[in-house]
Chain A
């Protein structure tokens, strides 16, 4: 039976919880794979090597740097799950500031804190076989990735926009109908268009889609009344350092300077 491991780096554990939330399917998964190492669920420490490793979280400490290399060594296939492991996560906001200042504000003894200047995705350090997006990932996509791995096929995880799912779900566009700013057109699908279904704009939890056009979207959203700080803020969340979203925020700032 294939052996599965689940690893945690800098993260909130939400992606691992998504796996545990697969309540109806979890026993079926456990019948097909041996869940050998999964500290969120069990204190049993099954030794490696593992056929499939799911990795949550980003690399933020010197110790992480060592540990991810170990994980790669003991894993036949390595799949990152979620925004932190795939793009650095919300904690990558440190990249836009001085992490030592944060530590000084938060901790009584900041000298106890060993942390890196940057929060980086797993793929910046070791080869990754597949990156599953989302903050957190969608449970159906997570099961699809595991299922595809077991069947030896390519996972069906399209990189197109949220709009594809949104319209297939029968929603009317919230930006057109209500003037609600929405990142759906530049964000990768996978969530099932959760927020637009409840009349909210997309927050971009699944990161940049395959061909994001932030310049055109930003132009339109300014027309809907969004200011430069608001535009910067909507891109600087879970995928702040994913290249297209980093550029989207920077371009919004430069646009402001150009106006002045």
Chain B
């Protein structure tokens, strides 16, 4: 399929988040008792189901063959530079906050071949986009996908490979019940309840254990209809709304977004040097960020088959190569690179794309190896 036919597609997938979802959408909500039929239905429909499992004491998103594999009974403790899993959530499956994994690995793989050259011949790498159902995304993850959609599809030069991958994704959200210690989605107006951008949204309820299912697309409706279900009662819906209300009251962090662009224009603040002294320029924050989209290209020549290839891979504004011009990095200091990242994420992103680059998931805080906290840095600017 060529670029033009992709672009003339009637409804690009990033438009599917229009309309009929969220709390007010009581008529569509149903209740299911377990997730096993959902996993089976998705797999029967040709989707690889990717959901949260426990691996090496961390919640990771992996392909699952059965709902039994999901991380039942686990909860997490997240603080700057520290992540620990503990048992004690009983029968509950989604009692943890953001995992280091977001949808980014599926929308924008860490490494992909753009094209190969064999002699003078160019071979376009038409990558496969296998169908993947992401089960257990949070409202912040959906918001991050919307940000990436804007970046990759919303401009004058939409990325056809991104569109191919994006269309192959089915998004199943779970409404957060237990926000992490580094979460601040309420400040960024992205959560904790998934109101848009999903095919299905689940709210996990206890006593009895069950899930309220909302649909957000025709695809989602078809899947929900195929599951053993009953209509959601007023009680179910109230309990579901209460989960989100409670989550909103337990945010681990807060960011004052009022006047944030003005505050970030303080380029000469001594605060930058202070955080620069702590920053490792290791890139972990940008790697775990679900919206950081920067990449670079590498050219490689092969000995064995005489081909050359161009590879696109994740890059970060914290590397020196990133700002290299004429052999010299423009942003040589740690402070300069940190300032660039924070300023772009919370301020110039708005100028560039009309929305904030931060969705408040807190991953950059938890996964900074030395615990630098963006909310603290923002609060300490003048």
Contact = CB atoms under 8 A, between A and B. Distances in A.
A227 interface: no
B369 A160 contact: no
Contacts, number: 125
A25 B369 contact: no
B371 interface: yes
B284 A178 contact: no
A160 to B, nearest CB: 4
A220 B320 contact: no
B306 to A, nearest CB: 9
B367 interface: yes
Contact of A220 (B60, B301, B316, B370): B370
Contact of B369 (A148, A170, A182, A210): A182
Nearest to B61: A170
A144 B83 CA distance: 37
B287 A164 contact: yes
B3 interface: no
Interface string A7-50: 00000000000000000110011001000000000000000000
Contacts of B245: none
Interface string B78-109: 00011110000000000000001100010000
Interface size class of A (residues with CB under 8 A): 35 or more
A208 to B, nearest CB: 12
Contact of A177 (B57, B298, B302, B321): B57
A128 B314 CA distance: 30
B301 A147 contact: yes
B222 interface: no
B100 to A, nearest CB: 5
B110 interface: yes
Contact of B371 (A151, A213, A220): A220
A173 B369 contact: yes
A168 interface: yes
Contacts of A182: 369
Most buried by A among B84, B110, B283, B300: B283
A175 B369 contact: yes
Nearest to B305: A28
A153 B57 CA distance: 43
A211 interface: yes
A245 to B, nearest CB: 15
A166 B57 CA distance: 17
A90 to B, nearest CB: 25
B334 interface: yes
A216 B280 contact: yes
Interface string A155-168: 01011110110011
Given A176-B82, A177-B83, 10 more contacts: A25-B303, A150-B301, A159-B321, A163-B282, A163-B284, A168-B110, A168-B313, A177-B56, A186-B280, A220-B369
Interface of A: 24-25, 28-29, 32, 143-144, 146-148, 150-151, 153, 156, 158-161, 163-164, 167-170, 172-173, 175-179, 182, 184-186, 199, 210-211, 213, 215-217, 219-220
14 contacts: A24-B304, A147-B302, A151-B301, A161-B283, A168-B287, A172-B83, A176-B82, A178-B56, A179-B82, A182-B369, A185-B370, A213-B281, A216-B279, A220-B370
